[in-house]
Structure 1
């Protein structure tokens, strides 16, 4: 019988597929885990317990499904979905948009916006039904957000002030009004018709559509003594005006004068430039089958794509004018663009993403759209090149550093799309392959990227579970982890916060009706608490759907109606209180405390990959072995459970002789050890668990293994 020791000092490969259990030749296996649940990864290799989800409030529409004591559904009216979308003007002015069927509420700094006059929550009526919400796409520029769905005409959400928000439809001929009340006065006599139109131009050079034609009879040619004078009303947004004159055929106009500052112009025989004609409007998005399903900004143009009628077409606005899709005759470089991807089969566009080029994901492949030869995109310089033939789902991609992550067609595989200088194009690698078991027979329904503090892409699967990907490409870190709570995750998004990016979620939970005792479902808005960063357990928040009481010492806490009938976990002044059940919206404690965290408990697990033996001949997969002793290096942690599996877990006690009784234990940093109760088998592993509302960070582990034990 011999012994050997196996140490693991990094866990940042995350949870690995069972297919990886025997792959000792794969470098990522040595820093991977068999299970990583409710734990997050640091770039340094350590893993730590995620903080809890703090209860923020009920979703606007929360009609319940009620069940009786036999768990049979009494009503099934709960079918309203909630969608969370970030609206970020800057780090301080970051809002959370809560869309439900036909309604919109707005969160800011952890509270719902209210009307300053009535003190009522601001609720905006929208045309988005619950069937539309999962496929609602948006992009933002400053105080304006554009929202699209193929079932609804494009909408514009405008923030006029902190509490003044407007949602409206859009026009696509620019925002400058057409000059009105154009009149003509002739000087002299004659019988030749002279016809004109007038346009308005704003400070940014955006030109309106032409006015109605105005005409009169006068001499031909016009002279200083026989001429036509035009006048028009002021256009508030305009700084100058252009006048076009008809000639060269009916309806053909050419520029006769530009940059007019006043409200009148006299035609005394000036030459007409028929190479510069007034803008023409494009008839866009005016019927249900023409509504776009994608929207994005690229090179100062607002881009729409993929209507039911034209699924492979992209429409781009005039440069610098988001809502102007007018075109000139002849075309100019800043005119609106219409581009249809040329492919072998109908290849509907699923998403747009702005970058070095405009990336386009379709059902069958991924494309890059740009100007030719590195020039800015324009009607005369526009090309689309296929980059890969993977195919994309309908989820909007996530930008992570210098990469774009997108979900492949089928919904259960994530690829990284990155520009490759060697091929002068984009290539995509599968970053779910080592953790494919997490997505087997599942579909990603929503996701968001939380850049700070630990660069995590959060994904909700169609079974209501939550998984995360810690990804830092420059350090070759990409590790998956799973997260559970007593409920079903339905939606999520991230917004900037005081201490980094905040993750907000929509989660369905089952509670008890206070009157009937029947089970009902409620949809809640909750926010992931910032990662624990202290050496005092009192500051840790490790409960879900939780609240915090802070004030005079008390042994009774109210305000828990959202957890009615559920057993809750409690941390009172740093002490773990026995679990209690919420009754009539409150709980009673055995002792008074000033700082109390109350919410649903959850387990955080770190389980190592199976340990394999090796000798001079190589790896011995079938060698009988037994885990004898474990060493664990932890940081700012409390006591935890340790074992080789669920059945052998036992508690690691960190209380020392010098620790006074009646005082909360200081958090421990250092090495601790335990003898393990394990049987002889061909694989050995280690399971670490924290199930109390306390912090837990693991830096390294070491296992002492006995070989050749008689069976």
Structure 2
């Protein structure tokens, strides 16, 4: 019998996994290839040789990794920013470095640079990392940039107590009454009676005050040692005493808060007091009995508030609890999420005011919500993404956050949907049209999260199903190229470069492999 050869009309399926060889029953099989190296599969079916690379400039320190981030000012003006260990350099679109060479100092180590998230608003880029206070990057001229801590008017706050740089010694670490806790220096006040000392799993309630260094406690949950290191323990909740304001109105007006037992500390300046249905910001410390402040929300009255009816609250974004790991803009709000202490919580700023996180109940007030998976596990939020809904991509799964049918998210109107259970790696996702592409938790699979009208929810199909071998060393970074072909470029942990031509309307998912100098 004469041999026949079958002509292949296109390569719109790209590289096929060795595991799928011989699977002629797969619809994309006739359009695939065993190997496509240094070519680009085109959406219309053919394949063309990819463009070459050109040496532009060396990084500041070639022995360290660095990261290139685009900063777009207008359709006619954009820059490439090189972030490295504690520095940022600026390059023009043609690859030339801004003269100087221009460079500014940043607070980010190289390890933080590789995992930080960012979101660009109208006039600034906001940069997020759990270990660094959120930064705001602004452009004034090609050789004049400013990177500084975001000047938030109000940070999110809650009743979280305080950590003290004082070591504690317990008389006994076991459960029981009559134990004593002795501090290395003055720290305790009379109104701390009733508050809890927390160290890791251990918990003790203060039952008596002897001096500023000695209190009696009842240990509810055993401590792992009688020696509690400095800075590691928390004095929980609020001073347990009556608090009396001398005024209830107006907003912005001065007020004095007086306790019946010593409870204020100089470090309370800048904190907030919820009292009599109102809110006061402490601006001055007079004594352990008296502080002064300004009224942020009017009080219902100037009556005395007994213990447990008022709270002393502190910013939840701090060096101890960590800062947001990710952020984006959605419905005219700055959304930030995923601190160390509150890994599954996301915060939204006041509508139209990205610097204001004063949480309230009005529709345009700031808000805070915590995700809860169906299996009740804590889901560390790795990224928040603005799509037709707000997406929260976590270690354990993917969630959507929305306000309801044709309604925005507000402090009193939110729905959180558990969409898919795959989990997201720490590689920053890319937006491709109406889909969010993310690397699954293990870094091997690339998934495309998109809304399905028929299911009234999101689906996240695996784009690497027929080419699972191509990401063997794990995905390290991604970038999307719109023209001339819709391409997602992917850098692997091995240093290799791969790409996928992606056009969902034409059902094109075509993987290609690329050889470059220096790759394994």
Give the superposed CA RMSD. Answer: 2.4
Matched with 2:126 is 146
Q: Which structure has the higher relative contact order (CA within 8 Å, separation 6+)?
A: 1
Aligned partners of 2:485, 2:253: CA distance in 1, in Å? 56
Q: Is the 2:447–2:461 contact (alpha carbons within 8 Å) kept by the matching residues of 1?
A: yes
- Is there any run of 5+ residues in structure 1 with no aligned partner, and where? 63-77, 176-192, 199-209, 216-241, 253-279, 490-711
Matched with 1:483 is 514
Are 1:404 and 2:384 matched, yes or no? no
Aligned partners of 1:32, 1:246: CA distance in 2, in Å? 70
Matched with 2:34 is 34
Matched with 1:108 is 92
Q: Is the 1:82–1:98 contact (alpha carbons within 8 Å) kept by the matching residues of 2?
A: yes
Q: How far did 1:142 drift?
A: 1.9
Please state whether the residue corresponding to 1:5 is helix, strand or coil: coil
Tell me which moved more, 456-465 or 1-10: 1-10
Q: 2:477 aligns with which of 423, 431, 446?
A: 446
TM-score by length of 2: 0.70
Matched with 2:146 is 166
Aligned partners of 1:472, 1:243: CA distance in 2, in Å? 52
Distance change >3 Å, CA 283–CA 431, structure 1 → 2: same
Q: Rg larger in 1 or in 2?
A: 1
Q: Is the 1:281–1:325 contact (alpha carbons within 8 Å) kept by the matching residues of 2?
A: no
Q: Is the 1:143–1:160 contact (alpha carbons within 8 Å) kept by the matching residues of 2?
A: no
Matched with 2:301 is 248
Aligned partners of 2:328, 2:407: CA distance in 1, in Å? 20
Q: Is the 1:105–1:112 contact (alpha carbons within 8 Å) kept by the matching residues of 2?
A: no
Q: 2:487 aligns with which of 424, 440, 456?
A: 456
Higher share of residues assigned strand: 1
Q: Is the 2:400–2:416 contact (alpha carbons within 8 Å) kept by the matching residues of 1?
A: yes
1:478-521 CA deviation, whole Å, 9 max, x = no partner? 100000111139xxxxxxxxxxxxxxxxxxxxxxxxxxxxxxxx
Aligned partners of 1:22, 1:474: CA distance in 2, in Å? 27
1:395-435 CA deviation, whole Å, 9 max, x = no partner? 22211122121111100001111111111000111110111
Matched with 2:55 is 55
Q: Is the 1:197–1:213 contact (alpha carbons within 8 Å) kept by the matching residues of 2?
A: no
Q: Is the 1:282–1:325 contact (alpha carbons within 8 Å) kept by the matching residues of 2?
A: no
Aligned partners of 2:131, 2:503: CA distance in 1, in Å? 38
Distance change >3 Å, CA 111–CA 429, structure 1 → 2: closer
Q: How far did 1:211 drift?
A: 5.7
Aligned partners of 2:73, 2:357: CA distance in 1, in Å? 25
Q: 1:467 aligns with which of 498, 501, 504?
A: 498
Distance change >3 Å, CA 245–CA 302, structure 1 → 2: closer
Matched with 1:316 is 348
Q: Is the 2:247–2:255 contact (alpha carbons within 8 Å) kept by the matching residues of 1?
A: no
Are 1:339 and 2:374 matched, yes or no? no
Matched with 1:421 is 453
Q: Is the 1:417–1:426 contact (alpha carbons within 8 Å) kept by the matching residues of 2?
A: yes
1:71-127 CA deviation, whole Å, 9 max, x = no partner? xxxxxxx3x22011111122211111100100000112324454xxxx512101000
> What aligned pairs does 1:481-630 form with structure 2 within 5 A after superposition?
481-488=512-519
Number of aligned positions between the proteins: 385
Q: How far did 1:461 drift?
A: 0.8
Q: Is the 1:38–1:484 contact (alpha carbons within 8 Å) kept by the matching residues of 2?
A: yes
Distance change >3 Å, CA 138–CA 244, structure 1 → 2: closer
1:528-571 CA deviation, whole Å, 9 max, x = no partner? xxxxxxxxxxxxxxxxxxxxxxxxxxxxxxxxxxxxxxxxxxxx
Distance change >3 Å, CA 334–CA 392, structure 1 → 2: same
1:191-238 CA deviation, whole Å, 9 max, x = no partner? xx877555xxxxxxxxxxx364499xxxxxxxxxxxxxxxxxxxxxxx
Are 1:386 and 2:418 matched, yes or no? yes
Matched with 1:17 is 17
Please state whether the residue corresponding to 1:86 is helix, strand or coil: strand
Aligned partners of 2:327, 2:152: CA distance in 1, in Å? 14
Are 1:91 and 2:121 matched, yes or no? no
Distance change >3 Å, CA 213–CA 159, structure 1 → 2: farther
Q: 2:110 aligns with which of 121, 130, 135?
A: 130
Matched with 2:2 is 2
1:325-374 CA deviation, whole Å, 9 max, x = no partner? 0134xx21111111001121122111111111111111111100011333
